[in-house]
Amino acid sequence: MELFEAMRTCRSIRRFRPDPVDECVLWQCLKAAGYAPSGSNAQPWRIIVVNSDEARALLGPAYRKGAAWSMGIYGVTRPPDDDNSRRARMTRSMFELVDNFESIPYYVMFLTELWDNLPDHLAGSAVYPAVHNFMLAARSFGLGTVPTMWFMECEDELRALLEIPEMWHIAALMPLGYPKGRHGPLHRRPIEELVHWNRFGDHRPAPEGLELPGAIEKSR
Protein backbone atom coordinates (compact mmCIF):
# COMPACT_ATOMS: atom_id res chain seq x y z
CA MET A 1 0.00 0.00 0.00
CA GLU A 2 1.27 3.48 -0.92
CA LEU A 3 2.30 5.53 2.14
CA PHE A 4 -0.04 8.48 1.61
CA GLU A 5 -2.96 6.12 1.05
CA ALA A 6 -2.18 4.35 4.33
CA MET A 7 -2.05 7.68 6.21
CA ARG A 8 -5.19 8.97 4.49
CA THR A 9 -7.21 5.92 5.50
CA CYS A 10 -5.67 5.03 8.88
CA ARG A 11 -8.86 5.57 10.83
CA SER A 12 -9.20 4.83 14.55
CA ILE A 13 -10.82 1.39 14.58
CA ARG A 14 -13.10 0.47 17.49
CA ARG A 15 -15.25 -2.24 15.90
CA PHE A 16 -13.45 -5.55 15.45
CA ARG A 17 -14.23 -8.92 13.97
CA PRO A 18 -13.21 -11.92 16.11
CA ASP A 19 -11.10 -13.33 13.23
CA PRO A 20 -7.64 -14.43 14.39
CA VAL A 21 -4.60 -12.38 13.40
CA ASP A 22 -1.71 -14.32 11.92
CA GLU A 23 1.28 -14.00 14.24
CA CYS A 24 3.64 -13.45 11.29
CA VAL A 25 1.58 -10.39 10.29
CA LEU A 26 1.72 -9.13 13.86
CA TRP A 27 5.50 -9.49 13.81
CA GLN A 28 5.65 -7.36 10.64
CA CYS A 29 3.75 -4.59 12.44
CA LEU A 30 6.04 -4.87 15.47
CA LYS A 31 9.08 -4.68 13.20
CA ALA A 32 7.68 -1.48 11.68
CA ALA A 33 7.38 0.00 15.17
CA GLY A 34 11.06 -0.73 15.67
CA TYR A 35 11.98 1.47 12.68
CA ALA A 36 10.79 4.59 14.54
CA PRO A 37 13.41 7.27 15.28
CA SER A 38 14.53 8.21 18.78
CA GLY A 39 17.23 10.43 20.27
CA SER A 40 20.67 8.76 20.13
CA ASN A 41 18.83 5.72 18.76
CA ALA A 42 18.14 4.80 22.38
CA GLN A 43 14.67 3.36 21.71
CA PRO A 44 13.53 4.03 25.30
CA TRP A 45 10.30 2.12 24.82
CA ARG A 46 9.15 -1.47 25.00
CA ILE A 47 6.15 -3.44 23.74
CA ILE A 48 4.14 -6.14 25.47
CA VAL A 49 1.81 -8.22 23.29
CA VAL A 50 -1.09 -9.49 25.37
CA ASN A 51 -3.83 -12.02 24.65
CA SER A 52 -4.11 -13.99 27.89
CA ASP A 53 -7.44 -14.78 29.51
CA GLU A 54 -6.19 -13.21 32.76
CA ALA A 55 -5.52 -9.88 31.05
CA ARG A 56 -8.86 -9.96 29.24
CA ALA A 57 -10.66 -10.51 32.56
CA LEU A 58 -9.00 -7.36 33.92
CA LEU A 59 -9.28 -5.14 30.88
CA GLY A 60 -12.90 -5.74 29.83
CA PRO A 61 -14.51 -4.44 33.05
CA ALA A 62 -11.89 -1.68 33.36
CA TYR A 63 -12.65 -0.35 29.88
CA ARG A 64 -16.38 -0.38 30.51
CA LYS A 65 -15.83 1.51 33.76
CA GLY A 66 -13.53 4.05 32.08
CA ALA A 67 -15.96 4.54 29.21
CA ALA A 68 -18.89 5.09 31.58
CA TRP A 69 -16.91 7.72 33.48
CA SER A 70 -15.69 9.51 30.35
CA MET A 71 -18.99 9.42 28.51
CA GLY A 72 -20.78 10.60 31.64
CA ILE A 73 -18.60 13.71 31.75
CA TYR A 74 -19.35 14.54 28.11
CA GLY A 75 -23.00 13.52 28.26
CA VAL A 76 -22.54 10.77 25.66
CA THR A 77 -25.34 8.20 25.46
CA ARG A 78 -26.10 5.30 23.14
CA PRO A 79 -27.66 6.72 19.99
CA PRO A 80 -31.01 5.40 18.77
CA ASP A 81 -30.87 2.68 16.13
CA ASP A 82 -32.32 4.93 13.44
CA ASP A 83 -29.66 7.67 13.92
CA ASN A 84 -27.06 7.18 11.19
CA SER A 85 -25.27 10.51 11.54
CA ARG A 86 -21.46 10.55 11.63
CA ARG A 87 -21.48 11.38 15.33
CA ALA A 88 -23.91 8.55 16.08
CA ARG A 89 -21.78 6.08 14.14
CA MET A 90 -18.66 7.13 16.04
CA THR A 91 -20.48 6.94 19.40
CA ARG A 92 -21.86 3.52 18.52
CA SER A 93 -18.35 2.31 17.72
CA MET A 94 -17.12 3.47 21.14
CA PHE A 95 -19.80 1.44 22.87
CA GLU A 96 -19.05 -1.57 20.70
CA LEU A 97 -15.37 -1.36 21.63
CA VAL A 98 -16.01 -1.57 25.35
CA ASP A 99 -18.92 -3.99 25.08
CA ASN A 100 -16.74 -6.51 23.26
CA PHE A 101 -13.28 -5.67 24.57
CA GLU A 102 -12.51 -9.21 25.75
CA SER A 103 -13.02 -10.65 22.25
CA ILE A 104 -10.39 -8.49 20.46
CA PRO A 105 -7.58 -10.77 19.19
CA TYR A 106 -4.60 -8.86 20.61
CA TYR A 107 -3.77 -5.96 22.90
CA VAL A 108 -0.43 -4.34 22.09
CA MET A 109 0.94 -2.24 24.95
CA PHE A 110 3.58 0.41 24.40
CA LEU A 111 5.74 1.27 27.41
CA THR A 112 8.03 4.26 27.83
CA GLU A 113 10.92 4.89 30.18
CA LEU A 114 10.75 8.22 32.02
CA TRP A 115 13.79 10.02 33.43
CA ASP A 116 14.13 12.28 36.45
CA ASN A 117 16.12 14.91 34.54
CA LEU A 118 13.55 15.44 31.77
CA PRO A 119 9.88 16.48 31.78
CA ASP A 120 7.62 13.49 31.13
CA HIS A 121 6.35 14.86 27.81
CA LEU A 122 9.92 15.01 26.49
CA ALA A 123 11.27 11.80 27.98
CA GLY A 124 8.23 9.88 26.81
CA SER A 125 7.92 11.38 23.35
CA ALA A 126 10.02 8.74 21.60
CA VAL A 127 7.36 6.08 22.06
CA TYR A 128 4.70 7.75 19.89
CA PRO A 129 6.57 7.56 16.56
CA ALA A 130 6.76 3.81 17.27
CA VAL A 131 3.03 3.77 17.98
CA HIS A 132 2.28 5.51 14.70
CA ASN A 133 4.57 3.24 12.69
CA PHE A 134 2.70 0.31 14.22
CA MET A 135 -0.66 1.84 13.25
CA LEU A 136 0.40 2.44 9.64
CA ALA A 137 1.83 -1.06 9.30
CA ALA A 138 -1.38 -2.53 10.72
CA ARG A 139 -3.37 -0.50 8.19
CA SER A 140 -1.21 -1.81 5.33
CA PHE A 141 -2.18 -5.38 6.30
CA GLY A 142 -5.88 -4.52 6.55
CA LEU A 143 -5.80 -4.50 10.35
CA GLY A 144 -7.14 -1.78 12.61
CA THR A 145 -6.23 -0.29 15.96
CA VAL A 146 -6.63 2.80 18.12
CA PRO A 147 -4.57 4.22 21.03
CA THR A 148 -6.53 3.82 24.28
CA MET A 149 -6.00 4.86 27.89
CA TRP A 150 -8.81 3.26 29.91
CA PHE A 151 -6.37 0.60 31.09
CA MET A 152 -5.73 3.13 33.87
CA GLU A 153 -8.84 1.79 35.62
CA CYS A 154 -6.92 -1.43 36.35
CA GLU A 155 -3.34 -0.25 35.93
CA ASP A 156 -1.96 -1.50 39.24
CA GLU A 157 -3.42 -4.97 38.74
CA LEU A 158 -2.33 -5.03 35.09
CA ARG A 159 1.22 -4.03 35.94
CA ALA A 160 1.39 -6.78 38.55
CA LEU A 161 -0.03 -9.38 36.15
CA LEU A 162 2.42 -8.47 33.39
CA GLU A 163 5.35 -7.96 35.80
CA ILE A 164 6.14 -4.49 34.44
CA PRO A 165 9.19 -2.96 36.18
CA GLU A 166 8.61 0.26 38.09
CA MET A 167 10.62 2.46 35.72
CA TRP A 168 8.43 1.57 32.73
CA HIS A 169 5.15 3.45 32.20
CA ILE A 170 2.26 2.38 29.97
CA ALA A 171 1.94 4.96 27.20
CA ALA A 172 -0.87 3.34 25.19
CA LEU A 173 -2.79 0.12 24.85
CA MET A 174 -3.66 -0.73 21.26
CA PRO A 175 -6.43 -3.25 20.54
CA LEU A 176 -5.56 -5.01 17.28
CA GLY A 177 -7.75 -6.95 14.89
CA TYR A 178 -9.61 -6.91 11.59
CA PRO A 179 -12.20 -4.14 11.48
CA LYS A 180 -15.89 -4.45 10.90
CA GLY A 181 -16.72 -2.15 8.04
CA ARG A 182 -14.10 -0.20 6.15
CA HIS A 183 -11.04 1.90 6.78
CA GLY A 184 -11.03 5.67 6.01
CA PRO A 185 -11.07 8.04 4.36
CA LEU A 186 -10.49 10.32 7.31
CA HIS A 187 -12.21 13.64 7.98
CA ARG A 188 -9.76 16.29 9.17
CA ARG A 189 -9.53 20.06 9.43
CA PRO A 190 -7.77 21.78 6.51
CA ILE A 191 -4.04 21.73 7.17
CA GLU A 192 -3.84 25.46 6.40
CA GLU A 193 -5.77 26.10 9.63
CA LEU A 194 -3.28 24.14 11.70
CA VAL A 195 0.03 25.40 10.27
CA HIS A 196 1.49 28.75 11.35
CA TRP A 197 4.37 30.48 9.60
CA ASN A 198 7.12 32.25 11.57
CA ARG A 199 4.78 33.23 14.39
CA PHE A 200 1.60 31.88 15.92
CA GLY A 201 -1.50 33.15 14.16
CA ASP A 202 0.07 33.72 10.74
CA HIS A 203 -1.39 31.35 8.14
CA ARG A 204 -0.87 31.05 4.43
CA PRO A 205 -2.73 29.06 1.79
CA ALA A 206 -1.18 26.09 0.06
CA PRO A 207 0.25 26.94 -3.37
CA GLU A 208 -2.41 27.19 -6.03
CA GLY A 209 -2.77 24.02 -8.02
CA LEU A 210 -0.89 21.91 -5.46
CA GLU A 211 -2.59 18.57 -4.96
CA LEU A 212 -1.96 17.07 -1.55
CA PRO A 213 -3.20 13.47 -1.14
CA GLY A 214 -4.94 13.46 2.18
CA ALA A 215 -8.06 13.30 4.27
CA ILE A 216 -11.49 14.64 3.42
CA GLU A 217 -11.58 18.08 4.98
CA LYS A 218 -14.15 18.82 7.64
CA SER A 219 -16.63 21.54 6.81
CA ARG A 220 -16.24 24.49 9.17
> What structural domains and CATH numbers belong to the chain?
3-185 (3.40.109.10), 187-220 (no CATH)
pLDDT at 118: 72
| Mean residue pLDDT across the chain | 90
- How many percent of the chain have pLDDT more than 70? 95
Other CB atoms within 10 A of residue 127 CB: 25
Burial bucket for residue 171 (CB in 10 Å: 0-12, 13-18, 19+): buried
Contact 123, 113 (CB under 8 A): yes
User: Band of the pLDDT at 217, cuts 50, 70, 90?
Assistant: low
> What pLDDT does residue 83 have?
87
Predicted confidence (pLDDT) at residue 220 exceeds the cutoff of 70: no
141 close to 25: Cβ distance less than 8 angstroms: yes
| Residue 219 confidence (pLDDT) above 60 | no
Confidence of residue 154 (pLDDT cuts 50, 70, 90): very high
Q: Is the dihedral of CA 65, 19, 163, 170 positive or negative?
A: negative
The alpha carbon dihedral of 178, 154, 149, 135 has a sign of negative
Burial of 58 (0-12, 13-18, 19+ CB in 10 A): buried
Full-prediction pTM beyond 0.85?
Answer: yes
Return the percentage of the chain with pLDDT > 90, whole number: 62
* CB 15 within 8 Å of CB 180: yes
